A and B are shown apart, each in its own frame.
Chain A
């Protein structure tokens, strides 16, 4: 489905209304607002991206009732270009999770199997696109939150280079890792949507003033001569589902058949990525989430003294995983622990970054699995945070290095669950990812299969 034969917003709306009770992809919408928009370019927005006057809650109780007075830069751009905002999508609370189960509004279901999770944290956006409720959506990716749910839902998810898309108005999880990304049914829509939201923004000091190409010009099937790096560390002997492994082996062959060359590479610090991430990300989160104190907006649990008000509000407003990360982050930044944890993690981060810049001297892109397994069952990993954290083992390094990554459908498991491959490129190498992803998509049929709902 391309934009040309996309039905009008009204038709999408009917599908959203019919399917949402089953999937729980959307958490807020104002129907009248959406109907007033005559556009036929519907986009779903993750609930952590600020839309003026619309509920924006990060799927958290603590932001109950919060309506930002301003639009995020990406929203301003979408509105200017005539896109219709269809509503806010479900997510793990404050993007803390890989399963979309930690939402205050309950879990989102995977359209391929409603007993399973859609991935996370942008699970609502991914499920909405996979179920055909919208052709495209915005998500945010701090450790894989766009690519992993895209893989688990059988669609396309792009995390751009850190600094490619303005973060102004994206409610921060971990500021040095967060990046708004696109979740679309096809690669062509990814190219279009990324072009619509990307570019330098003077309101975001971390956005980078690098000229942005017209990504749709890279929707060619020609990838001859491109060198694809295969890092041994991303194809471990254990911990990788056999269906995923087989799909990836097939994918390598397809790329080779299309004229790309495969080169062995090594990213030796990969094994430290998850530990490093779970120091830096919670540290930044603990500070970013300090503002939810009941003083200005969102939830307030009244109490006689201000400290009691803080305590009651934050105890009642945050879910378990949010509390766990705030505690973790506060701990690693505490005096006496800062050097051993935060500072060390920052050094490891530099090593990981250097791994990639070294690798990119011998290849143009890197091919890896997006997720070690297909979608798991709802509730399966909720009580095992470590296992949950390992869901993002292949996606986290790109965030630490700030490089772009895309997940594209590359197969199905024996249970008919989608499998995705991940391609990584140099900073601002999104066009390379679009070229490779488009060529792969056009050479395969995986994107044409739709869930039966």
Chain B
């Protein structure tokens, strides 16, 4: 059987989180009444002219720099001409031959190995409006609230070899954009959109296979699922010797398949030409350097630094830096406790589980770094058991009460008094004759049961190792 290889490239559109649109002063607030946030410019009325939003430009430069792109000194816009009723001028102001940034890269982790995904280009453009098709009647409506919102198009090289890599790339990209604080990256609200190009060829074959462009995926998972489906479809066709046509296909999440939308023969000629309403301008090197030096530490660098400074596995530090809030919290807690490894375990384990189940970010909770540090210290010093610690964590996260206070108030300290512990153990031995007999007959599980009973009797306040040793000692004689 032949082996195949898959070649994937992604085109990501990110809505920049500026307060106003890219070429006019209209608000970009989400979920407003239709056409409430419009003006002559974003409605494309005759005679209205675009003026570049400086903040959108800054966000675009930050992103390009954050993705390691080269930035050209000349910033120029072009018109992309096509007819669609959600595009009020029937052309989109975009960038064509001189994208704002080019030749960058984004690192991903697949199966424990690093892989560099090259970024071909990053360019700034305006968004279109939205068509609304009511279920009844034969009219459609246009809402231009989104028209003119600042969009950044980020195009990867076809460096992705599997749907999983595509998923990892999107995750890494999102993480960078969030660190830079330039976009919400909310795929459901449409602030991040992704189109994928995929082709499959026999391994080692010269040239690429025929590609399909896939659209209409509204989550990272959907991107992965759609690519898995396409990969299978292409392989099947190659296996059977069927012809694959170059086309655009839509992902149907409900059915879990893609459908042909249009073939490339109907592809449009966009007749790009320089936008005469916006004068090209140059950006000084010093200005770019100034923006660059103001960038926050990005996930990649942070991951390496955390692993180095706190002696963490790169896998763990990689998980910690996905969310800048988590990474920042980790550092504060690690410093306060001087037990970074344990802090990382808590954050990646119980804390993350709590956040996921509640669907909140760490910043939205009352959890303080000092409190997690204190909890780690309490467990480490044997003051409380790990079990007790797990038990009181939700209270610490939800209410922001210091762990020591909870321990004191609820009397949760481990029993330090040896005599008290001995008395409890003796009681357990006396009350569980069968288990005692079993243990003496060589059944190890019986010991576990007895330890459990003792823990239960102390409401978890005993040190299980100590209890176990004590029982063993008592039953020896």
Partner-B contacts on A (CB < 8 A): 48-50, 56, 58, 63, 66, 68-70, 72, 167-172, 174-176, 202-206, 283-284, 286-287, 290-291, 293, 295-297, 306-307, 310, 330, 333-335, 338, 342
Whether A310 touches B273, Cβ cut-off 8 Å, given contacts A50-B47, A69-B45, is no
Stretch at the interface among B85-93, B292-300, B333-341: B85-93
Cβ contact within 8 Å between B271 and A333 = yes
B289: Cβ under 8 A from any A Cβ: no
Of all chain B residues, the one with the shortest Cβ separation from A163 is: B279
Are A175 and B91 interface neighbours, CB within 8 A? no
* Complex Cα–Cα for A283 and B91 (A): 13
Closest to B270 in A: A335
| Interface check B40, CB cutoff 8 A | yes
Cα distance, A202 to B24, chains bound together (Å) = 11
Complex contact B85–A291 (CB within 8 A): no
The docked-state distance in angstroms from the alpha carbon of A206 to that of B273 is 17
Cβ distance A72 to chain B, nearest Cβ, rounded Å: 6
B79 touching A287 by the CB < 8 A rule?
yes
Contact of A291 (CB < 8 Å), options: B88, B271, B277: B88
Q: Which of these, A49, A69, A174, A310, contacts B83 with CB under 8 Å? A: A310
B46, A335: Cβ atoms closer than 8 Å: no
Could you tell me the distance between the alpha carbons of A392 and B89 in the complex, rounded to whole angstroms?
Answer: 29
Task: Report chain A residues within 8 Å CB of B88.
Answer: 291, 295-296
The answer to whether B45 touches A205, judged by C-beta atoms less than 8 angstroms apart, is no
Find out whether the CB atom of A333 lies under 8 angstroms from the CB atom of B273. yes
Q: Do A293 and B90 form a contact, CB below 8 Å, given A69-B40, A176-B276, A205-B277?
A: yes
**B277 contacts A334, C-beta separation under 8 Å:** no
Decide if A330 touches B279 in the complex (CB within 8 Å): no
Instruction: Flag if B90 contacts A291 (CB, 8 Å).
Output: yes
Contacts of A310 in B (CB 8 A): 83
* A51 → B minimal CB distance (Å): 10
A168 and B48 form a contact (CB under 8 A)? yes
Contact (Cβ within 8 A) B271 A287: yes
**Considering the chains assembled together, what is the distance between the CA atoms of A310 and B278 in angstroms?**
28
> In angstroms, how far is the closest chain B Cβ from the Cβ of A48?
8
How many Å lie between the Cα of A172 and that of B91 in the bound state? 14
Decide if A291 touches B89 in the complex (CB within 8 Å): yes
A290: which of B50, B91, B273 is its contact (CB, 8 Å)?
B91
User: Cβ of A287 and Cβ of B273 under 8 Å apart?
Assistant: yes
Q: How far is the CB of B415 from the nearest CB of chain A, in Å?
A: 75
How far in angstroms is the closest Cβ of chain B from A334? 6
Determine chain A's interface SS by DSSP, over half rule.
Answer: loop
Chain A residues within an 8 Å CB radius of B278: 205-206
**Roughly how many angstroms separate A332 CA and B43 CA in the complex, as a whole number?**
27
- Which chain A residues border B45 with CB–CB below 8 Å? 68-70, 296-297
Q: Which residues of B contact A172 (CB under 8 A)?
A: 46-47, 277
Contact with A along B34-49 (1 / 0, CB 8 A): 0000001001111111
CA distance A342 to B276 in the complex (A): 13
Q: Which residue of A lies closest to B89 (CB)?
A: A291
B interface residues, how many (CB within 8 angstroms):
29
Pair A290/B90 contact, Cβ less than 8 Å: yes
A175 to B46, CA, bound (A): 12
Q: Would you call A202 and B142 a contact (CB within 8 A)?
A: no
Which B residues are CB-close (under 8 A) to A69?
Answer: 40, 45
25 contacts between A and B (CB under 8 A): A49-B47, A50-B46, A56-B46, A68-B40, A68-B45, A68-B47, A171-B46, A172-B47, A175-B276, A206-B278, A286-B81, A287-B91, A287-B271, A287-B273, A290-B81, A290-B89, A290-B91, A291-B88, A293-B83, A293-B90, A295-B88, A306-B85, A307-B83, A334-B271, A342-B273
Q: Is the CB of A291 within 8 A of B44?
A: yes
- Residues of the B chain whose Cβ atoms lie less than 8 Å from the Cβ of A175: 276-277
Q: Is the CB of B46 within 8 A of A63?
A: yes
Do A70 and B49 touch across chains, with their CB atoms under 8 A apart? no
CB B222 to nearest CB in A, in angstroms, measures: 28
- A328 CA / B39 CA spacing, docked (Å): 31
Bound complex: CA of A171 vs CA of B90, how far in Å?
A: 15
Which residue of chain A has its CB nearest to the CB of B79?
A287
Is B269 in contact with chain A by the CB < 8 A criterion?
Answer: yes
Q: How far is the CB of A302 from chain B (nearest CB, A)?
A: 11
A134 smallest CB distance to B (angstroms): 22
Given contacts A72-B47, A287-B79, 5 further A-B contacts (CB under 8 A): A69-B40, A290-B91, A306-B85, A333-B81, A333-B273
Most buried by A among B83, B89, B273: B273
Closest-CB distance, B22 to chain A (whole angstroms) = 13
Shortest distance in angstroms between B318's beta carbon and chain A's nearest beta carbon?
Answer: 44
Q: Inside 8 A of B276's CB, which chain A residues have their CB?
A: 174-176, 206, 284
**B208 at the A/B interface (Cβ < 8 Å)?**
no
**B52 within 8 Å of A (CB atoms):** yes
- Distance A56 CA – B48 CA, assembled complex (angstroms): 13
Can you name the residue of chain A whose Cβ is closest to the Cβ of B275?
A175
Give B42-88 interface residues, CB cut-off 8 Å to A: 43-52, 79, 81, 83, 85, 88
Let me know if B271 and A206 touch, CB within 8 A: no
Residue of A nearest to B80 (CB): A287
Q: Which residue of B lies closest to A346 (CB)?
A: B274
Judge whether B46 and A205 touch: CB under 8 Å.
Answer: no
A206-B47 CB under 8 A given contacts A69-B40, A290-B91, A291-B88: no
Q: How far is the CA of A174 from the CA of B275 in the complex (A)?
A: 11
CB-based contact B81/A287 at 8 Å? yes
Task: State whether A283 and B49 are in contact (beta carbons under 8 Å apart), knowing that A290-B91, A293-B83, A310-B83 are contacts in the complex.
Answer: no
CA distance A58 to B81 in the complex (A): 22
Q: In the complex, are the beta carbons of A291 and B46 less than 8 A apart?
A: yes
Least Cβ distance of B46 to chain A in Å? Answer: 4
Chain A residue with the shortest CB-CB distance to B131:
A306
Whole-angstrom distance between the Cβ of A404 and the nearest chain B Cβ: 18
Cβ of B46 and Cβ of A295 under 8 Å apart? no
The complex places the Cα of A310 from the Cα of B82 at a distance, in Å, of 12
Closest to A72 in B: B47
A56→B40 CA distance, assembly (Å) = 14
Chain A nearest CB from B74 CB (Å) reads 15
Residues of B close to A205: CB separation below 8 A: 49-52, 277-279
Asked whether A66 lies within 8 Å of B50 as measured between CB atoms, the reply is: no
Closest Cβ of chain B to A199, distance in Å, is 16
A286 to chain B, nearest CB (A): 8
Rounded to whole angstroms, the CA-CA distance of A306 and B85 in the bound complex is: 8
* CB-based contact B79/A168 at 8 Å: no
Q: How far is the CA of A438 from the CA of B272 in the complex (A)?
A: 45
Shortest 3 CB-CB distances between A and B: which pairs? A290-B90, A175-B276, A176-B276
Our pick among B49, B91, B272 for the contact of A203 (Cβ within 8 Å) is: B49
What are the residues of chain A within 8 A of B52 when measuring CB–CB? 205
Which listed residue (A169, A286, A293, A297) contacts B47, Cβ 8 A?
A169
Report the minimal beta-carbon distance from B150 to chain A, rounded to whole angstroms.
16
Q: Mark B193-224, 1 if CB is under 8 A from A, else 0.
A: 00000000000000000000000000000000
A37 CB to nearest B CB, Å: 23
Residue of B nearest to A335 (CB): B269
Given A205-B279, A290-B90; A283-B273 close (CB under 8 Å): yes
Q: Which of A171, A206, A338 contacts B279, CB < 8 Å?
A: A206
A356 → B minimal CB distance (Å): 19
Most buried by B among A171, A175, A202, A205: A205
Pair B85/A295 contact, Cβ less than 8 Å: yes
- Which chain B positions have C-beta within 8 A of A171? 46-47
Residue of A nearest to B90 (CB): A290
Complex CA distance for A395 and B276, rounded to whole angstroms: 21
Nearest B residue (CB) for A167: B49
Bound together, the chains give a CA A50 to CA B89 distance in angstroms of 17
Q: With a CB–CB cut-off of 8 A, which chain B residues contact A174?
A: 276
A206 to B275, CA, bound (A): 11
Q: Which residues of B contact A48 (CB under 8 A)?
A: 47
Q: In the complex, A49 Cα to B47 Cα: how many Å?
A: 8
CA distance A219 to B272 in the complex (A): 46
Taking the closest CB of chain B, its distance from the CB of A435, in whole angstroms, is 30
Rounded to whole angstroms, the CA-CA distance of A326 and B91 in the bound complex is 14
Q: How far is the CB of B450 from chain A (nearest CB, A)?
A: 79
CA distance A203 to B25 in the complex (A): 11
